[in-house]
Amino acid sequence: MPAMSATLPLLDTDSTPPAAPTKRGILDVPAEELRAWLAARGQPPMRAAQVRRQVLINRAATFEEMSDLPKILRAELAEAFDLFSTRVERHLTAADGTHKLVLRLADGGMIEAVLIQDDGRATACVSTQVGCGMGCVFCASGLNGVVRNLTSGEIIEQLVRLRNLTPKPVAAEKNPISRSPSRKEVREGATTGLADRLTHIVVMGMGEPLANLDNLLDALAVAGDKNGLGIGARHVTISTVGLPVKIARLAEVGKQYSLAVSLHAPNDELRTRIVPTNDKTGLDAILAAADAYFAETGRQVTYEYVVLGGLNDLPEHARQLAGLLAGRKAHVNLIPWNNVDGLPYQRPHDADLEYLIDTLRKSAVSVKVRKRKGSEIDAACGQLRRKVEGERPV
């Protein structure tokens, strides 16, 4: 998960969360079921779309305020369903507009979701599972394994809750930032305001997205819908540990989602030590699946490389990585390891990072060091959840 650079004052916004919900969240009720529920109360099917619009577009916080619905129906809805199935266990904000939510699920599990606001963009970083089963040795999310997949409603809810933290839209003429700024505008600093909606999604929170692909795709369909959150597929990045069969399935979906593959090592021996699932997949199959994804979708694949000082940042690794990716239409994001309490890894030295960058550039591989947002609010995967779990019995 991206993290912020400077240390900023934090605000713990929700210290006394309300009682846990016991009813189903409305976003987890399939449209057909909701229509049948409405029909049983003499209501036309279009009411289902109205309810969803209220949550997805109008930012309704209660059924009561859905003023385009009959009053009696609002009361019946509130009786049968919760507007949200999660509650905010912890809400941290940083001065530059980054928000981190720890959400408590109806069954007690906890997940994290982060909103990053910069350059007129509002990017939601969402989780797909409670915990993670991939076991990458440097990552906090998987330290206790995976508990379960999130439902599509729980994934959408993260997006809606984060979107609700962006400024409310005002009339177009009063608000020049009611759309994504162009690159030129961002470069020229023409946009100083905050986006009034989500502009981007990165599926880089807790969990392995491709291990919960069906629910993720359902959630992203709502995210992409003009009657939903209206976020185009090209503004969605799905980050995976590298599951070749699932990457092939994602390519078949025919959407323009960006794919990010967590590589973290340039040879199988080292990768298997850092990313244990590599034992079953191997680099060749992952690269072949990523190449096929690019061929099928035309979307350039990003390779993420968490840089672990002294472990995967030696000159030979730089050369091997360059050799692996040279000639591929690929981009590398180097991510200096974000400290996780209790884990024995190191952040890289600047000189080693520079050597990696130079070596890749000399081989014409595009590379950037990822600016990490929210590090002071533990915005890297799974870290804040661990802290909150440590404080309270789950």
d(CA 48, CA 207): 31
**Annotated catalytic residue within 112, 154, 304, 376:** 112
| Per rule CB under 6 A, count of chain residues that contact ligand SAH | 19
Q: Which of residues 253-312 bind ligand SAH (CB under 6 A)?
A: 262, 304, 306
CB distance 69 to 47 below 8 Å: yes
Q: How far is the CB of 111 from ligand SAH (least distance, A)?
A: 13
Touching ligand SAH, residues 189-248 (CB under 6 A): 204, 208, 239-241
Q: Which is nearer to ligand SAH, 286 or 306 (CB)?
A: 306
What DSSP assignment string belongs to 344-360? ---PPPHHHHHHHHHHH
Handedness of CA 10, 86, 55, 378 (dihedral sign): positive
Largest Cα–Cα distance of the chain, in whole Å? 71
Of 167 and 309, the one with the shorter C-beta distance to ligand SAH is 309
In the complex, the smallest distance separating the C-beta of residue 229 from ligand SAH, rounded to whole angstroms, is 21
The answer to whether residue 352 forms part of the interface with ligand SAH (CB under 6 A) is no
Q: Which is nearer to ligand SAH, 27 or 136 (CB)?
A: 136
Residue 5: closest CA among 369, 374, 378, 334? 374
Residue 271 Cβ vs ligand SAH, minimum distance, rounded to whole Å:
12
Whether 381 sits among the annotated catalytic residues: the reply is yes
The residue to which tokens 């619905």 are assigned: 69
Opening angle at CA 49, ends 202 and 102, nearest 5: 35
- Asked if 380 is part of the footprint of ligand SAH (rule: CB under 6 A), the reply reads yes
* Pick 77 or 241: Cβ nearer ligand SAH: 241
The helix (run of H) or strand (run of E) holding residue 25 is strand 24-25
Structure tokens at 299: 């979307």
Site for ligand SAH contains 158 (CB under 6 A): no
How far apart, in whole angstroms, are the C-alpha atoms of residue 164 and residue 113?
13
Minimum distance of ligand SAH from residue 106's CB (angstroms): 24
Active site residue 376: no
Binding mask 119-138 for ligand SAH (x = CB under 6 A): ---------------x-x-x
CB of 385 to ligand SAH, least distance (A): 12
Among candidate residues 125, 136, 139, 381, the one labeled active-site is 381
Shortest Å, Cβ 365 to ligand SAH: 17
Q: Which is nearer to ligand SAH, 120 or 207 (CB)?
A: 207
Supply 379's token pair: 């915005």
- Rounded to whole angstroms, the Cα distance separating 131 from 152 reads 16
DSSP H stretches of helix in the chain: 31-39, 46-56, 71-80, 152-163, 183-187, 213-224, 244-252, 268-274, 278-281, 283-297, 315-325, 350-362, 383-391
> Of 56, 92, 110, 139, which lies in the binding site for ligand SAH, with binding defined by CB under 6 A?
139
Q: Which residues bind ligand SAH (CB under 6 A)?
A: 1, 134, 136, 138-139, 204, 208, 239-241, 262, 304, 306, 335, 337-338, 340, 380-381
Catalytic residues: 112, 381
